Amino acid sequence: MTSPEPDETDQAAPAPRSGLRNPQAAVRGLGAGTLVLEAIVLLLAIQPIRILGGDLSGWGIAAVVALAVLAALLAGMMRRPWGWTAGTVLQILLLASGLFHWSLAALGLIFGAAWVYALSVRRSILG
């Protein structure tokens, strides 16, 4: 007796490369978590920068608050196809806000590195 040929309905979909049940949701969660953490750190950094750094002007504070709000909004929009691109633009804007105060440039470098890592994880999981 020979085994019957498997038809197309018996074949299961190929398993994801990562072994995750829903790799796209996991990657979206990583991106959203990174952006939420960035928003929290930006808001918490305002007062220490003002006290220790000295000359963070009203425009600098407004830029930090705007970037934090933008990061929080983007965290909720990671399902959109442009979410990762917008997150990259946010990191560039944070780095450019270093013109207001040097510590914002340092935060831009730190979160830029975290974003590059999240992008590399995304690429390795989703292919």
3-class state of residue 60 by DSSP: helix
**pTM, whole model, 2 decimals?**
0.80
Is the separation of the CB atoms in 115 and 89 below 8 Å?
no
Residue 41: exposure state from Cβ atoms within 10 A (0-12, 13-18, ≥19):
middle
- The DSSP result for 66-84, as a single string, is HHHHHHHHHHHTTTSTTHH
Which residue's entry shows tokens 């995750």? 20
Domain boundaries, the chain: 23-126
- Of the pLDDT bands very low, low, confident and very high (cuts 50, 70, 90), residue 120 is very high
Tens-digit pLDDT profile for residues 63-98: 899 999 999 999 999 999 899 999 999 999 999 998
pLDDT of residue 49: 81
pLDDT of residue 12: 55
- The DSSP result for 7-35, as a single string, is -TTTSPPPPPTT--SSHHHHHHHHHHHHH
